[in-house]
Structure 1
């Protein structure tokens, strides 16, 4: 499988977690933090194509159809991310880890196979760092007021997704599970602390 090169040095950071975890809020806070640090930052969320996002979140397709739509969107997005990584840090709200958790564990598809499909679509592009914001399903219910099609799935589905996220560190060297049940500030402080630790260790190497 042909793979394109990407700059390392923790330049592609993804935020993951089940719905209601606060990952989008934390991703945006992290973007602002990096900008204050004088970094050039590009923020993106998945699905990237807005028309496809609306279809995927509000229409009922079979599992394989959804998977291939996500892969098509991700393949297009990869071209943009490879380009942005030449000059900027890329912060992403979701990544292929969402497919491993939702379609793999949630919909009970083969996780290893999904990983290979994503690597083919992405030409080997993977986040350098993943912050997985973890919350129990019970907290998810308290936080989400209105629900799209995916968010309306049952508790067993979301428990499988959450359990999946907790075990996905094998696909990323720097995969950090952060307790999202705490206050927004406490979660953010932990993320920044982890980030500074990574940057510090890099400077010493």
Structure 2
């Protein structure tokens, strides 16, 4: 793969969508080819899975079934979207990836983390991000302010605290590939630190700037995160 894979992770309403837009705008200005994407939902199969796992009308989905649905989304997404963009030499900027499944379904739903990680890495053909930006925030300051919660957002404070802990443990074990930032820092402060890290990776990979048309950066949640 000749491109660069950058993932934004964190709890609900941490500001990932905003920072995805910030980074995409900077790449656009630099003339660097990029692809903005998200999980779950940015593939034909993922759209159906997203509807199932997030809709409050889906009813009772067991923790293991939920986990496998999210992993199926990733398997399709990597083949259909991520790997082709990387093969073209683009910077792939992704809102959520494998870490979200480990944090939400392993830590949050109390499933065996090694099992979840093994299956997720198998499904994604062991494709790992070059950089994961983790926006860390207390869920009580983020999820609690969402007016209309989806099925996952409604899982409760204890669930979201476990999710936060899951993310932080992943970052602690591989600090070289993570940038952990307080989500309540200013938008520009976070964006600047992300740009600095991405610039370093671009220089190391010698990714040449190329003319690129502006992309529409969508918010997959239907809300604009601050």
Give the TM-score normalised by the residue count of structure 1: 0.88
The answer to whether the 8 Å contact 1:139/1:181 transfers is: no
Find the partner of 2:2 among 1, 7, 16: 7
Q: What's 2:63 paired with?
A: 63
Residue 152 (1) aligns with residue 154 (2): yes
Q: Which of 127, 130, 138 is equivalent to 1:128?
A: 130
Correspondence 1:32 to 2:25 = yes
**Is the aligned partner of 1:99 residue 2:98?**
no
Question: Residue 199 of structure 2 aligns with which residue?
Answer: 196
Equivalence for 2:73: 73
What is the aligned length? 196
Q: Which aligned segments of 4 or more residues in structure 1 are displaced greater than 3 angstroms?
A: 197-203
- Contact 2:54-2:151 at 8 Å conserved across structures: yes
Q: What is the alpha-carbon root mean square deviation over aligned residues?
A: 1.8
Structure 2 partner of 1:116? 118
In 1: Cα distance, 2:125 partner to 2:133 partner: 22
Gaps of 5+ in 1: 1-5
> Unmatched 5+ residue regions in structure 2?
207-226
Match of 1:3 in 2: none
TM-score (norm 2): 0.81
Note if contact 1:128-1:172 (Cα within 8 Å) is conserved in structure 2.
no
